Amino acid sequence: MGNSSLQIIAENVSVIASPKTWIEGGAIQQLQTTAKLPGMHRVVGMPDLHPGRGYPVGAAFFSVGRFYPALIGGDIGCGMRLLKTDLSIAKLSLDKLVKRLGNIDAPLIEQNDFWRERVRSYQLQESGFEPSLGTIGGGNHFAELQQITEVFDQQIFSAHGLDRKQVMLLVHSGSRGFGGQILRQHIEQYGHHGLAEDDAAATSYWQQHQQALHFALCNRSLIAERICANLATHAEPILDIHHNFLSEVSIDGARGFLHRKGATPADEGLIVIPGSRGDYSFVVQARLGNQGELASHSLFSLAHGAGRKWMRSECEPRLKQRYTVAQLSRTALDSRVVCHDKGLIFEEAPEAYKPIDSVIESLQDAGLIHVVAKLKPLISYKTSGGCCL
246-285 positions binding DNA, by CB under 7 A: none
CB 278 to DNA: min, Å? 16
Using rule CB under 7 A, residue 75 touches DNA = yes
- What residues have CB less than 8 Å from 38, skipping those under 6 apart? 66, 194
Closest residue by Cα to residue 18 from 368, 356, 366, 362: 362
Contact (CB, 8 A) for 144 and 380: yes
Using rule CB under 7 A, residue 125 touches DNA = no
Using rule CB under 7 A, residue 181 touches DNA = yes
Among 5, 14, 132, 264, binds DNA (CB under 7 A): 132
Q: Count of residues binding DNA (CB under 7 A)? A: 18
Active site residue 340: no
Using rule CB under 7 A, residue 237 touches DNA = no
Which conformational region is residue 114 in: left (phi greater than 0), alpha (psi within -120 to 50 degrees), or beta? alpha
Q: Which is nearer to DNA, 295 or 338 (CB)?
A: 338
CB 158 to DNA: min, Å? 33
Among 14-22, 91-99, 137-145, 274-282, the segment contacting DNA (CB under 7 A): 137-145
Using rule CB under 7 A, residue 140 touches DNA = yes
Residue 201: CB atoms within 10 A of its CB come to: 13
Among 131-139, 151-159, 163-171, 359-367, the segment contacting DNA (CB under 7 A): 131-139
CB 385 to DNA: min, Å? 10
CA atoms within 13 A on the CB side of 46: 34
Using rule CB under 7 A, residue 304 touches DNA = no
CB 338 to DNA: min, Å? 16
Among 81, 84, 118, 176, binds DNA (CB under 7 A): 176
Closest residue by Cα to residue 243 from 194, 284, 288, 303: 303
Distance of CA 350 to the CA centre of its chain: 16
Contact (CB, 8 A) for 119 and 129: no
Among 67, 129, 280, 282, binds DNA (CB under 7 A): 129
Catalytic member of 41, 50, 186, 304: 304
Rounded Cα–Cα distance for residues 146 and 153 (Å) = 18
CB 75 to DNA: min, Å? 5
Contact (CB, 8 A) for 174 and 76: yes
Residue 75: CB atoms within 10 A of its CB come to: 27
Q: Which is nearer to DNA, 132 or 296 (CB)?
A: 132
Contact (CB, 8 A) for 302 and 263: yes
Closest residue by Cα to residue 109 from 127, 135, 81: 135
CB 36 to DNA: min, Å? 24
Using rule CB under 7 A, residue 48 touches DNA = no
The residues assigned a catalytic role are 304
- Footprint on this chain of DNA (rule: CB under 7 A): 53, 74-75, 128-129, 131-132, 137-141, 173-174, 176-177, 180-181
